[in-house]
A and B are shown apart, each in its own frame.
Chain A
């Protein structure tokens, strides 16, 4: 079974509108971390936001927020006020307890296109 599932291969949004990118995960570990990264066409991976499984509040970083629903095992990324520069591939990833600090399991990604 997939550990990280991103069901939206591609998403479109109008500039200045908000968009939600979906991510569901599968783990039996009570302790885990969830990440979102942005990958522009240049190939670099840009860290956006992190949510720990024991964090009481949803993580926020500027225009990015993570809608963490633990019981549903979902960690959706919300981008508010989309900008043209937000057009990129977005990856959701998870680190489970007991694995290397560097070992993340990535989803297949969602390509976001922001229209002017």
Chain B
């Protein structure tokens, strides 16, 4: 399985600021994704990070709020923009090593917005 590193592991941010989360995979992967887990909830897919092109967003998520980059096969970033307390969540990067069905996750970023 791929090893997925995420940073920061946690952060406390002020309302109105932005935070960029980085995700690095130790081997080439075909697909990378970003999920959100709001407090006490299960996970929801934000978007698919596409290499060299715009991410594909799920319903309810927009690029202006969650810009995503994926400049190469093993690295992606998610920015949470103009944060509000409602953005306080765990954000998780995930990846498929190949189209082998299994989806692996990074260690997550615990974000608190004051």
- Of chain A, the residue at the smallest CB distance from B90 is A43
> Cβ of A108 and Cβ of B42 under 8 Å apart?
yes
Which of under 10, 10 to 19, 20 to 34, or 35 or more describes the interface residues of B?
A: 20 to 34
> Cβ of A44 and Cβ of B108 under 8 Å apart?
yes
Given contacts A43-B107, A45-B92, contact A102 B101 (CB under 8 A): no
A2: min CB distance to chain B, Å: 11
The answer to whether the Cβ of B103 comes within 8 Å of any Cβ in the partner chain is: yes
> Cβ of A43 and Cβ of B96 under 8 Å apart?
no
Which of under 10, 10 to 19, 20 to 34, or 35 or more describes the interface residues of A?
A: 20 to 34
> Cβ of B45 and Cβ of A104 under 8 Å apart?
yes
How many residue pairs, one in A and one in B, have C-beta atoms under 8 Å apart? 66
Using Cβ atoms and an 8 Å threshold, which residues of chain A touch B103? 35, 47, 95, 101-102, 104
> Cβ of A44 and Cβ of B107 under 8 Å apart?
yes
Bound Cα distance A63, B15 (Å): 44
> Cβ of A45 and Cβ of B101 under 8 Å apart?
no
Most buried by B among A33, A35, A93, A103: A103
> Cβ of B42 and Cβ of A91 under 8 Å apart?
yes
Mask for B76-113, Cβ within 8 A of A = 1, else 0?
A: 00000000000000101010100101111111101000
Given contacts A50-B102, A100-B48, A102-B94, contact A42 B107 (CB under 8 A): yes
The answer to whether the Cβ of B1 comes within 8 Å of any Cβ in the partner chain is: yes
Bound Cα distance A84, B111 (Å): 28
- Of chain A, the residue at the smallest CB distance from B101 is A33
| CB contact list, B38-90 vs A, under 8 A | 41-45, 48, 56, 58, 90
Given contacts A91-B43, A100-B48, contact A50 B107 (CB under 8 A): no
13 pairs across A/B with beta carbons < 8 Å? A35-B102, A47-B102, A47-B104, A50-B101, A91-B42, A91-B43, A101-B103, A102-B32, A102-B33, A102-B94, A103-B45, A104-B43, A104-B45
Which B residues contact A (CB, under 8 angstroms)?
Answer: 1, 31-33, 37, 41-45, 48, 56, 58, 90, 92, 94, 96, 99, 101-108, 110
- Known pairs A47-B103, A106-B44, A108-B42. 20 more at Cβ < 8 A? A42-B107, A42-B108, A43-B90, A43-B107, A45-B92, A45-B105, A50-B102, A52-B101, A91-B42, A95-B101, A95-B103, A100-B31, A101-B96, A101-B101, A102-B31, A102-B32, A102-B33, A102-B48, A102-B96, A104-B45
